[in-house]
Amino acid sequence: MTANQPVTVTLINELPAPHNTSIIFPGQQVTAAGGVAGLLTNEAVIGGGPVTYTFTPTKPGTYTYFSGTQADLQVEMGLFGALIVRPANFNPGAPTAYGTADTAYAREYLMLLSEMDPNIHQKAQFGQWNAIDTTVFKAVYWFMNGRTGPDTLEAANVSWLPNQPYNCFPRFHPGETILVRYIGGGRDLHPLHTHGQNVRVIARDGRLLESAPGSGTADLSNLEFTLTVAPGQTADGLYQWTGAKLGWDIYGDRAHTCNNPTGFDTVTYEYCPDHGKPFPIVPAHLQNITVGFIYSGSPNLGSTGLLPPGEGGFNPYGGMAFMWHSHNENEIVNFNIFPGGMLTMGLLEAPPSLGGPTLGPAD
């Protein structure tokens, strides 16, 4: 959505369960019409007419929406989602999250977090509604955008995942700022950790972290090693990989220069005090150990090397992969099988001038 543009959402109840349903939009001033009165808003009745929810989002940011009727059951069954409001002055060529310079980013990624207890879903599948007890809950699947790891890494809209169209695979160049939108869509809180760099949280629940409301400056932003997202909560974070003070040249022996002796190169974003320093250990492919499937054969960014037969092939541009995952370790499994669950990778890739791909806003 776009700030200051009115929106109408129409809801028709076609649920298989004998239940009313509704939608609530936290952070928005909503006018509801039709249906019947419910505890939180107007509800749609099975076989009845539609309910309409009309509102004008006045502030940009990351929001959510979910069922306002029997939420303990209906949210568990998947009635929730992400609501993104663009600034009124949004420019796709130079995007910002909140219309201000300090919320600018190169591309954005969504992390809609949820979990599932299959026992509840199995009872729902067979219409055993009276047997469902939502106070007895044990999640064994954890999702990012409706996918569990490692399916989070597959491309969006792959044909074999027709009901999970959205992936969760952040890609970025050194020094590039990406916007990560976090939403707690389920009933549990989840601590999300991004390896490689901390995330700077600039907003929560669609509001900038600013000391003077309306200033447009996120002067109360903070770096988070692990960002905990509570149910129904949203957060916006800026992530930028710098590689400062690694102690070795990330591009290795590739022909490149560094134009800022005390800081970062303006083109490659290499930390110039490390320019020309060798990789400090013997690379994996030269040791008698198994290499990972994403290893390119070289420890250097944007480079590839020889690998044993049948190894590699999943990293054609020589990127560096960092695990992004829940810090509740039991949540990075699929029914107790690792790896899976609330787990993905952030992929650092060299700029095109040094062998990396050109990344567009949807990559």
Query: Residue 103 in contact with residue 97, Cβ under 8 Å?
Result: yes
The helix/strand/coil state of 199 is strand
Domain that holds residue 17: 1-90
97 and 85 in a common domain: no
The CATH number given to whatever domain includes residue 358 is 2.60.40.420
Same domain? For 81 and 202 the reply is no
Question: What's the pLDDT score for residue 312?
Answer: 76
Q: Do 9 and 122 belong together in one domain?
A: no
Strands across the sheet containing 51-55: 7-11, 51-55, 31-33
| Pair (130, 256) in one structural domain | yes
Q: Which 3 state secondary structure label does DSSP give 119?
A: helix
CB 358, CB 228: distance < 8 Å: no
Q: What pTM was computed for the model?
A: 0.94
Statement to judge: residues 198 and 270 lie in one domain: yes
Q: What is the pLDDT of residue 289?
A: 77
Q: Are residues 291 and 342 in the same domain?
A: yes
Is 226 in contact with 327 (CB distance < 8 Å)? yes
Of the three residues 39, 65, 90, the one that is the final residue of a domain is 90
| Residue type, position 203, single letter | A
Q: What is the pLDDT of residue 309?
A: 82
Which residue from 242, 243, 237 is spatially nearest to 225, judged by alpha carbons? 237
Distance CA 210, CA 297 (A): 45
> Where is the domain boundary, 90, 105, 124?
90
Q: Are 257 and 118 in the same domain?
A: yes
- Spans of the chain below 50 pLDDT: none
DSSP string, 298-311: -SSTT------TT-
Say how many domains are in the chain.
2
Same domain, 110 and 78: no
* 136, 45: one domain: no
Whether 162 and 299 share a structural domain: yes
286 shares a domain with 172 = yes
User: Is 183 in the same domain as 294?
Assistant: yes
